[in-house]
Amino acid sequence: MTRYVLHRLGQSLVLLVLVSMIGFGLLHLTPGGPLSQFALTPGMSAATLARLSHQMGLDRPLPIQYAEWAGHLLRGDWGRSYRDQQPVLAIIVSHLWATLELMVSSTLLAIIFGTWVGVLGAIRRYSLADYLATIGAMVGLSIPTFWFGLVMIYLFSVWLGWLPSGDMYTNGDASLLDYARHLVLPCLVLTLVTIATWSRYMRASMLDVISQDYIRTARAKGLRPRAVLIHHALRNALLPMITVAGLQLPTLLGGALVTETVFTWPGMGRLFLDSISYRDYPVVMGLLMFSALLVLLGNLVADLLYVVADPRIRLA
Amino acid sequence: MTDVLMVEDLAVRFRGESGVVDAVEGVSFRLREGETLAIVGESSSGKSVTALALMRLLGGPPNCVVRGRATFMRQDGEALALLSLPETRMASVRGRDVGMIFQEPMTSLNPVHRIGAQIVEGLLAHERLSPRAAEKRAVALLDHVGIPEPALRARAFPHQLSGGMRQRAMIAMALACRPRVLIADEPTTALDVTIQAQILELIRALQHETGMSVIFITHNLGVVAEVADRVLVMYAGQVVEDAPVDVLLHRPQMPYSAGLIGSVPRLDDVRRRGGRLAAIPGNVPDPNTRPAGCTFHPRCAHARPDPCETARPALEYVSDGHTVRCARWREITV
């Protein structure tokens, strides 16, 4: 077990290095650069720009820049933002909480309701409820989040005036209710989208399980339908969902790019988008490494959870 | 001897994308106390569907319609109409009055629960027991079906046991509440020959001990000769012959029964016929396109256009406890 974990961590390290190289390369390939936004500023001459670029080390060969960045990272220095000179790690941490609040609440809701919808669709296959759930999931998966978010804002903020249209709290109001009111809309949008995915996986997994021989055995023993469903079917149908949940972890902490932007939610997703448009290389690279780490970690945790949940699986 | 189970005119019809399929038609039989009834036939002859229909383990309408009557006599004399009981009452019959074991011990046990827990679950569903007492009973049951170190095995997961052990565990599970009837659906088909013999012996010993009746579904006539008191031969969803085992094995009246018996490989036949196995020509007809008249006539050496291809033969009385579905059984010697 320990050997397996060490082996996987070793693999992850190699992957992280590769991801950082590719990410760094791609980022510097994008046209413009951190200074391009100043090019049209009155009084900014080409010579000044060149001098600034030299000061920031942006005129050196790419491998050298990468080596310097990686060297700093290895020593625990994530660099500083080009925008406000704040340390990258501090920026990430300050945005992490907002993202966590939004993502944990919506993911939990989505898993609970998605499981329920999926199970219902499977045991009442081809019923009206199943068709409605299927159509709902297709709609949820195919409408663009930004549009859906805007419709919600229009409906609940502009038209009905029930809920705030964005931000995390009203300035000067630190009450829990105010927080909750701000959370509702972005959480709703994310939950509905995640329910769509989760319920489809759940339905497929459940359909697979309820045709298994051991379900028939459980019924032949005289167990009540509910006991068969929960103890035998659901328990097995949730096994493959571990992988789906593991893949969900990066979004859990990485935030939802579009939703956070639409609702001006001060989370990781919006930070990423802003940093890219400013060509804030240190922050973008920091976020990139952070999410790569989470993807690898999420997969590792999922694999380890399998050992706990499924007695047939042994890691070697 | 009293009847434990009476089945009259059982019919199962499946509705699928390819149309309507009559998997079982007009099956009637009686199961007496302590008796072993073997249901024999090739694949898709309807024998498993018959058993599953009696247990109400098939899907419900509209995709699957079960008709007919099945009356089960409980120990206390109460008669239960199995096919019309409400589902909750039926759940209390399954496992307590009628136990069932299946062909594949590999897939019939839940892979994520311990063997002991899977037995305990059945016990707790039917009997007022403390969980601890149920666990003790489970270990005792595993011991009873010949599993060594039962306390240890009760803690094991299905994949940690061999096929034979798993089938023993299945038997322990099915017999946990001492049912009056055990339905064994090809319980030895997936096992090695030596293990097969052990499992048959175990079922026989348990039956002797508890006096339960057994419905033994198989396509193996060697097994039939060993375990059965009476045999029901099924073909294309119908009973084609019903007879005591020695009558059926030595004086079958239906050409299909004779064909089945003839295709059991025997060592002296190998010498006599140069090693060729006897077989019934052709295949079981597709349930969608069953031939008119006797469903067996295209494969039957004794078939004549009249009467075999014109009318579906009825079950006819041969002697006490012996019926056959063949229009020409009086004229032919099979």
| pLDDT confidence of residue B285 | 82
Distance in Å from the first CA to the final CA of chain A: 7
Token code pair at residue A25: 């390369």
Q: How far is CA A139 from the centre of its chain?
A: 21
Q: Find the closest chain B residue to A220 by CA distance.
A: B94
ipTM of the complex: 0.88
With CA atoms as reference, the chain B residue closest to A236 would be: B112
Rounded Cα distance between B208 and A201, Å, is 49
Rounded Cα–Cα distance for residues A190 and A45 (Å): 46
pLDDT of residue B328: 86
At residue B97, the pLDDT reads: 93
Three-state SS string over B54-79 comes to HCCCCCCCCCEEEEEEEEEECCCCCE
Closest C-alpha among B260, B231, B236 to residue B248: B231
- In degrees and rounded to multiples of 5, residue B98 shows phi and psi of -130, 120
Three-class DSSP category at A72: helix
Token pair belonging to B235: 């073909």
The pLDDT of residue A316 is 65
Mutate to test the interface with A, among B57, B94, B121 (most CBs of A within 10 A): B121
Query: Per-residue pLDDT averaged across A132-138, rounded?
Result: 93
Residue A13: in which H helix or E strand, if any?
helix A2-29
B92 — contact with chain A (CB < 8 Å)? yes
For residue range A113-131, what is the model confidence (pLDDT) as tens digits?
999 999 999 988 888 999 9
pLDDT of residue B271: 64
- Work out the pLDDT band at A4, boundaries 50, 70, 90: confident
- This prediction has a pTM of 0.82
Q: In whole angstroms, give the CA distance from residue A137 to residue A201.
A: 11
pLDDT computed for residue B274 by the predictor: 65
Which residues of chain B does A216 touch, with a Cβ-Cβ cutoff of 8 Å? Answer: 57, 102, 108
At CB < 8 Å, which residues of chain A contact B? 212-214, 216-225, 227, 231-232, 235-236, 239, 309-312
SS3 assignment, position A46? helix
B96 touches chain A (CB under 8 A): yes
Measured between alpha carbons, how far is B293 from B311 in angstroms, rounded to an integer?
Answer: 4
DSSP labels, B221-265: HHHHHHH-SEEEEEETTEEEEEEEHHHHHHS--SHHHHHHHHTS-
pLDDT above 90: residue A257? no
- How many CB atoms neighbour CB B319 within 10 A? 11
**B32 at A interface, C-beta within 8 A:** no
Q: What is the pLDDT along chain B (334 residues), one digit of tens a residue?
A: 689 999 999 999 998 887 888 899 999 999 999 999 999 988 888 899 999 999 999 977 778 999 999 999 998 889 999 999 998 999 999 999 999 999 888 899 999 999 999 999 999 999 999 999 999 999 999 998 989 999 999 999 999 999 889 999 999 999 999 999 999 998 888 788 888 888 899 999 999 999 999 999 998 888 899 899 999 999 999 999 999 999 999 999 999 999 888 888 777 666 666 667 778 888 888 877 888 888 898 888 888 888 888 888 888 898 888 999 988 888 888 7
Q: Which residues of A touch B104 (CB under 8 A)?
A: 213
Which DSSP symbol is given to B313? Answer: P
For testing contact with chain B, the best of A221, A239, A310 (most B CBs within 10 A) = A221
Least CB–CB distance from A214: residue in B91, B109, B125 = B109
Mean pLDDT of A89-105: 89
Q: Which residue has the higher pLDDT, A26 or B333?
A: A26
Write out pLDDT tens, residues A168-221. Answer: 877 777 788 888 888 999 999 999 988 998 999 999 999 999 999 999 999 999
Q: How many whole angstroms from its chain centre is CA B155?
A: 30
- pLDDT given at position B275: 66
- CB contact, 8 Å: B283 with chain A? no
* Nearest chain A residue to B89, by CA: A222
Could you give the strand order of the β-sheet that contains B19-32, starting from the edge strand earlier in sequence?
B19-32, B3-16, B64-73, B79-81
For residue B273, the model assigns a pLDDT of: 60
Residues of chain A with pLDDT > 70: what percent? 99
